[in-house]
Amino acid sequence: MTRCFMGFIGTSSTASSRGRRLAKRTGGDSMKVGIDSYCYHRFFGEVYPQQSDPGRRMTLEDFLQRARQLQAGGVSIESCFVPNKDPGYLREVKAMLDEFGMDRVWAWGHPDGLEGGRNREAYREMIASLDQAAWVGAGVMRVVGSSLSFRHEPHEPQIARLTEMFREAVKAAQDRGIRLAVENHIDFTAEEILRLLGEVGSPYLGLNFDTGNFLRLLDDPVKAMKKLAPFVLATHVKDLKPQKGVSADEWFFFSSTPVGDGLVEIEQLVRLLDEAGYQGFLAVEIDFLHPDYGGDEDGAVARSLQELRRITAALAKGKEAEV
């Protein structure tokens, strides 16, 4: 079952043995910066009704080559944009990632994931995706429990259903040595995410912290990070600013900007992650790019990587000075 629109063909065992796991940083090492392939969703064929079609398509290989050109240290691969999930092909992807020296996260669940715990077919697909994560050498798999489509439905029943699903899922994840990272997907507040993680109570379920999606619920991202940093296994580093002329109750009222141009206090969030001992990379994500940037997602990604490198280098330099 395909969980997101792919639409077009592009133009162009044990935990210790599965590729480049997230290496622990020591001393003054800077946190790695990377890219989530969703930044290029229009080029993978998913174009929002309010957007224009770019007129060309990317393949996964195109994305990985561009990430290499941008000197990304890691990539989060949206599985919905990978039409070929055969083990042989995914092992070739793993070899490419290993050659490029990139950390990686396998991302399952766009757009609605487990639909608040009501979709058992999606649950079975999620469990099957653990093997795909292993084939590409990912130690973390991003998953989606709910979404903005269900944010106005009662949250307590959703959290209860998801708790039961994830209590089952972590057993399969542990068997494969892969950790699940549930994303805050414009669905739950930080307190609700914290409760879900606590109810499941497994080191094989953590958080994919999206820096922008809490803001879209008017839940302060910095306060959220202070609560959730110890549980973060992966990130979507997303900066946002309001889009004039868009209704405030539209999810894209707060639209994506290059990191540093928006309202989200990214530097403080990175500092909090570092203080919590975060071992993953910082994955830039752009969803609905603000019109001020002329539909240039690639330029926004490049600027975001540059700003994140500045932030992480300054953080590492400050730590060295303290020694």
**H-type helices in 51-182, by residue range?**
60-69, 87-100, 120-135, 155-176
Confidence (pLDDT) at 322: 82
Residue 83 lies in a domain: yes
Residue 72 lies in a domain: yes
> 9 pLDDT band (50/70/90 cuts)?
very low
CB 308 within 8 A of CB 284: yes
Residue 256 lies in a domain: yes
Q: At residue 290, what is the residue type?
A: H
Residue 232 lies in a domain: yes
Residue 4 lies in a domain: no
CA distance 181 to 16: 19
CA 266 to chain centre: 15
Residue 3 lies in a domain: no
> 29 pLDDT band (50/70/90 cuts)?
confident
Find the CATH number of the domain harbouring 180: 3.20.20.150
Tokens of 32: 């790695």
**Which are the contacts of 85, defined by CB distance < 8 A and separation ≥ 6?**
79, 132
DSSP string, 179-207: EEEEE--SS--HHHHHHHHHHH--TTEEE
DSSP state of 235: E
CA distance 56 to 10: 8
Query: How many domains does the chain contain in total?
Result: 1
Confidence (pLDDT) at 319: 86
CA distance 235 to 213: 11
Residue 14 lies in a domain: no
CA 242 to chain centre: 22
Q: Is the pLDDT of residue 244 over 80?
A: yes
**Structural domain that includes position 290:** 28-322
Confidence (pLDDT) at 25: 57
Residue 41 lies in a domain: yes
- Residues 198-215 have pLDDT tens digits of 999 999 999 999 999 999
